[in-house]
Amino acid sequence: MSATALLVVERDFLDTHVGVRRVVLYYWQMLERQGFRVSLAHLKDGRLYGAKWLSVSDVIAAEANARNDRPVWTSTTRDYREVPTTLRRSPSQTLVWQDREVRLDDYNVTVVTNPWLCAGGMPDGPITAGIVYDMVPNLLAVGALNMGAIIDVYEFARKHDQGYQLYLNRAEKILSISESAGTDFKKFYRLEGRLAGKVSTVVPFEISDVERVRSERSAVEGQKSRILLVNILDARKNFSGVKSALKIAALSKTFDVDVVGKERMPLSGVIDFLGSLADMGGEVSWYRDCSNAALHRLYVEADLLVFPSYYEGLGLPILEAQSHGVPVVTSDTSSCVEVNLNRDLAVDPYRPDLMAQAISTGVSDASSIMRSHELRNALADWLTGRNTFDFSVATARI
In the three-class reduction of DSSP (H, G, I as helix; E, B as strand; rest coil), residue 139 is classed as helix
What CA–CA distances, in Å, run from 133 to 163, 233, 373?
12, 19, 29
pLDDT of residue 233: 93
Best mean pLDDT range from 9-18, 78-87, 269-278, 328-337:
328-337
Residue 86 has pLDDT above 70, yes or no: no
- Across 141-145, 163-167, 209-213, least confident range: 209-213
pLDDT of residue 151: 62
Mean pLDDT for the stretch of residues 171-192: 97
In the three-class reduction of DSSP (H, G, I as helix; E, B as strand; rest coil), residue 16 is classed as coil
Mean pLDDT for the stretch of residues 213-241: 82
Alpha-carbon 168 to chain mean position: 24
Confidence of residue 145 (pLDDT cuts 50, 70, 90): confident
**Edge-to-edge strand list for the sheet holding 171-176:** 97-101, 47-51, 37-44, 4-8, 109-112, 127-132, 171-176, 199-201
d(CA 256, CA 244): 16
- pTM value? 0.92
d(CA 193, CA 201): 17
pLDDT of residue 61: 82
d(CA 296, CA 213): 9
Helix axes 372-383, 316-323, angle to 10 degrees: 130
- At a CB cut-off of 8 Å and minimum separation 6, what does 245 contact? 306, 308, 352, 353, 355, 356, 359
What CA–CA distances, in Å, run from 128 to 63, 205, 286?
28, 21, 40
- At a CB cut-off of 8 Å and minimum separation 6, what does 310 contact? 145, 146, 147, 148, 236, 237, 238, 331, 333, 349
Pairing assessment for the beta strands 47-51 and 97-101 based on DSSP bridges: antiparallel
More confident residue, 147 or 158: 158
Q: Check: CB of residue 43 under 8 Å from CB of residue 53.
A: no
pLDDT of residue 398: 42
Give the whole-number percent of the chain exceeding pLDDT 90: 70
Q: Domains in the chain, ordered, with CATH?
A: 4-54+95-204 (3.40.50.2000), 225-383 (3.40.50.2000)
Q: What is the DSSP string of 227-291?
A: EEEES--BGGGTHHHHHHHHHHHTTTS-EEEEEES--BS-HHHHHHHHHHHHTTTS-EEEETTB-
Helix axes 352-362, 239-249, angle to 10 degrees: 60
pLDDT of residue 62: 80
d(CA 106, CA 48): 12
In the three-class reduction of DSSP (H, G, I as helix; E, B as strand; rest coil), residue 196 is classed as helix
Mean pLDDT for the stretch of residues 74-97: 66
